[in-house]
Structure 1
Amino acid sequence: MGNLAREYLEQQQQGEQSVQIKSQVKIKKSWLTPGEKIIGVVFAGFVCFGAVHLISNQSRIYEVNKDIQTMETKIDEQQKVNGDLKVQVSELSSYDRIFEKAKKMGLFVDENKVKVVE
């Protein structure tokens, strides 16, 4: 009977140990605390907002540069037209041409009535 009692006690102790082992719940600890997670999410939000803001500013700058280029092209074309018109004005306002047009219209130069203005 001694052995039976001893075996019975050993079985009871092993049963209690297995119950104790099973009853211990392992608590997983996260490597980030909830506060750190919130800070991380806020930081990620700021990074995303900054990226969107940067891209939108770059697109606005691109549009403005495009408008400047088209305006400079128009200015260059207008300067060419103005230069051509100045050449035409200088050709048409030459003294010989004006004198010929005046003769065709019946005007003549009377040297007694010509006054020199200085």
Structure 2
Amino acid sequence: MVNDAAVKVVREQGRPAASPSRAPRRKRRFRLSLAEKLLFVSFFLFVVYAAVHIVANQVRLYELNRHVQQLEATIGEQKKANNDLYVEVQRLSAYERILQKAKELGLSLDENRVKVVQE
């Protein structure tokens, strides 16, 4: 028992009354292996490539859409011009107008010499 008391006294003397002070620890540096570094770099390059590719596709789509809109506008203008020309043809090919032009040019209508052409 005496030995036990002596051991207790030695233990208590070895410990300071305040919280035990630990030796300052060095911060552990996080180290990556070469394979991990290559993997991270290749992933980063892939992400950059994908982003550039997506942006390039968006630019191409924008240009194509703009071109399509220009073509649609041109088609609309051409349809309007075609419609105007069709109306002009209808107006100029009216029977009364043709008869009037014929009289102005000195032509006469002879019923016996008229031939009917059927389509």
Q: Could you state the TM-score of these two structures normalised by the residue count of structure 1?
A: 0.72
Count residues with an aligned counterpart: 93
Q: How far does residue 31 in structure 1 lie from its aligned partner after superposition?
A: 4.5
**SS class of match (1:115):** coil
Q: How does 1:33-48 map to 2 (within 5 A)?
A: 33-48=33-48
**Structure 2 residue 92 is matched with structure 1 residue 73:** no
C-alpha RMSD over aligned residues:
1.8
Distance 1:82 1:115 in 2: 32
Identity fraction in percent: 48
Larger % of helix: which? 1
C-alpha distance after superposition, 1:5-58 (max 9, x if no partner): xxxxxxxxxxxxxxxxxxxxx7x5535322111100011001101110110111
4+ residue stretches of structure 1 with deviation over 6 A?
A: none
Q: Could you state the TM-score of these two structures normalised by the residue count of structure 2?
A: 0.71
Q: How far does residue 116 in structure 1 lie from its aligned partner after superposition?
A: 2.4
Structure 2: gaps spanning 5 or more residues: 1-25
Distance 2:103 2:32 in 1: 102
**SS class of match (2:103):** helix
